[in-house]
Amino acid sequence: MSTSTAPQTRVRIGDLHFDQREWLNALQFYKEDITILEHRLEDIARRNTKQEVLAELEHFQNQFIREREVIDELRHDIKQEENVLEKEMKDHPVAIEHRFFTDHTDLRERFLIFEKLYRELKQEFQQWLVRRM
């Protein structure tokens, strides 16, 4: 994703692992948060059958489905990177904490973009709820 030609940042394996754990925990939180938002959608759908509202509900339902897909894709890619690091630790355990690895800038960028877009979607949904209540 990154088109920069700057030299890649080098970091320790523990820092990479910390990022991976933090991202996986955050993705789990977002997945659970989407479930809560979907329950809210169901509440609104039960109380309102106007065609306009149903179309708006469908928009958010589709957005939440897509967010779940992005979460699953990110989670998969993070786990793949985690597997590479675990293999490196098994294959070359001597002084592993003192060696440097290429930072996962592309993965970080994707995660940050996901978080930004998710926050925007949630804010849009909350504003919509206020109008529909």
Beta bridge partners of 11: 101
Output the pTM of the full model.
0.83
**C-alpha span between 79 and 19 (Å, rounded):** 12
* Percent of the chain at pLDDT exceeding 90: 54
Kindly state the tokens that stand for 27. Answer: 């993705």
C-beta separation of 107 from 56 below 8 A: no
In this prediction, residue 40 carries a pLDDT of 94
Tell me how crowded residue 74 is: count the other CB atoms within 10 A of its CB. 20
At residue 2 the predicted structure's pLDDT band, cuts being 50, 70 and 90, is very low
For all residues of the chain together, what is the average pLDDT?
A: 87
For every residue of 72-93, DSSP letters joined together read HHHHHHHHHHHHHHHHHHHH--
Average pLDDT over residues 55-64: 95
C-beta separation of 8 from 103 below 8 A: yes
**Tens-place pLDDT, residues 33-48:** 999 999 999 998 888 8
**Tens-place pLDDT, residues 70-118:** 999 999 999 999 888 888 778 776 766 767 777 778 999 999 999 999 9
Query: What angle in degrees, to the nearest 10, is found between the helix axes of 13-47 and 105-132?
Result: 20
Sign of CA dihedral 96, 25, 74, 6: negative
C-beta separation of 119 from 43 below 8 A: no
